[in-house]
Amino acid sequence: MALKPIMNVIKNESMGNMLCYKVPCEDFNNGSQLIVAEYEEALFMKDGIVEETFTAGKYTLTTENFPFLTTLKSNLVTGGVSAYNCKIYYISKQDHPEKKWGTSEPINVLDPYWQTYLHVQGRGAYTIRVKDGKKFFIKMVGANRSASDDDLVRNFRTAFIQNISDELAAYLTSSTEEIIVVCNRKKQLADALTNTLQPVLDEYGVELVNFYIENIGVVDDENLKSITRMRRERQERMFERQQNIEDERMKYGLSKEKAEADRYVSGQAAQADYERMKIRDQDGNNGWARQEEAEILKTMARNEGSAGEFAGAGMGIGMGLAMGGISKSLMGDMFPGGSANMGLANPNPSQAAAVKICPKCNATVPEGMKFCGSCGSLIETPKKKCANCGAEIPEGMRFCGQCGTPVSAGPKICANCGAEIPEGMKFCGRCGNRVEQGE
């Protein structure tokens, strides 16, 4: 009968994809060396119970150091060395390569924006590692000799897909945006699914290190085509509305610019009129008004045509007279016969008789005023009176026409202000007006 070998050095000799590996030998010499790497831990099972968990390091196993070990073999069987019986399992705690996941069937999801059902599918990958070796061994391995990462994927496939489908549908329908838009937020959805899937793995002592979503897509069917058509129509309406807004803004800008230009032109024209009036009125004698009167009269003088045209021009002059704009002397030169010769009707003769014209500046002076309100000149020269009877004596008469009294030379009278000027004075002592020779 062949004897089973007894190991002196215990170490993990499994492949890299193994999550759990059972050491084939169950008989060990007292004082055997146990080697545990940093990426793993060792479980010692005695009588179906995990007695001890060893982390990274090198250990010497003796019945003195570990009381749970008992000597079962006689010295004859072991060659004179005491031995013990135990089962040893190595649990890998490293991050295992990414494992693929994907929804086998499309998920039926109601689009919250369009209120239309869409079929969504997703795929991606995840990375796991064993967090609690003892819990993982009891829940996942049990009586099996080993367990690989493929075994773990097969075990969790249904639970993963169930939770991924439920969480994916809840996430997509909880948003107020279109599913087509939300599907592009893979990072946010992956974080949400990580929090959902982690409790499923915790029960087996496994940790979800990373969870990735490679793609979430909507199945190309009639519902997707309808949404695509509605989205295109919405974009066209938005573009048209934006274009109308831009057109209205442009029209408003053009009208505003035109109004500003019109105001500028009006202001420039008003400024030009003001400067023109200012230049014409530099003498202070209402030169602008007098120049306008002269222009009107020149126009009338050139109109030698029909009587109707002449009468029309006369009507304009009559309006100017009513406003006090045209001097009587200038009108007398053009129309010696007065307004009757111009073809103008005088609707208010008393008003025309109540106006005088200054002989110096041609300004209009109300009746009864002795001096011009514009230049201060005397309106009428005082007439000489007879020293005997007080009757007025016309200019150039040597005798009074009333009583025949000879007219004496008497004092000189200022033609400007009417003051008496002593004999020999060349200027008026009141207004400074020069006294003409022979006056």
Average pLDDT over residues 366-385: 76
Residue 306 has pLDDT above 50, yes or no: no
Q: Where in the chain is the domain with CATH 3.30.479.30?
A: 99-219
The answer on pLDDT for 92 being more than 70 is yes
For residue 5, what pLDDT band results from cuts at 50, 70 and 90?
A: low
Give 283's DSSP letter: T
Q: Is the pLDDT of residue 113 over 80?
A: yes
**Residue 102 in this model has a pLDDT that exceeds 50:** yes
Backbone angles phi, psi at 63, to 5 degrees: -70, -20
pLDDT of 90 > 90? The answer is yes
Question: Around 295, how many Cα atoms within 13 Å sit in the side-chain half-sphere?
Answer: 6
In the predicted structure, residue 333 carries a pLDDT above the cut 60:
no
The CA distance from 22 to 92, in Å, is 12
Superfamily of domain 99-219: Band 7 domain (3.30.479.30)
Is there a contact between 251 and 240 (Cβ–Cβ < 8 Å)? Answer: no
Q: What is the pLDDT of residue 76?
A: 42
Cα 107 from Cα 115, distance rounded (Å)? 16
Evaluate if residue 285 carries a pLDDT over 50.
Answer: yes
Q: In whole numbers, what is the pLDDT of the chain averaged over residues? A: 76
Q: Is the pLDDT of residue 244 over 60?
A: yes
* Residue 339 confidence (pLDDT): 44
248-262, 282-296, 401-415 — which one is most confidently predicted on average?
A: 248-262
Taking only Cα atoms into account, the Rg of the chain, rounded to an integer number of angstroms, comes to: 63
Tell me the average pLDDT across 154-182. 83
Instruction: Specify the pLDDT at position 55.
Output: 93
Which parts of 123-185 fold into alpha helices (H)?
Answer: 133-136, 149-174, 179-182
Residue 166 binned pLDDT confidence (cut-offs 50, 70, 90): confident
Q: Considering the chain, what percentage of its residues have pLDDT values greater than 90?
A: 6
Residue 326 confidence (pLDDT) above 60? no
- List beta partners, residue 366: 355
Average pLDDT for 142-153: 76
CA-wise closest residue to 311 among 322, 302, 300, 298 = 300
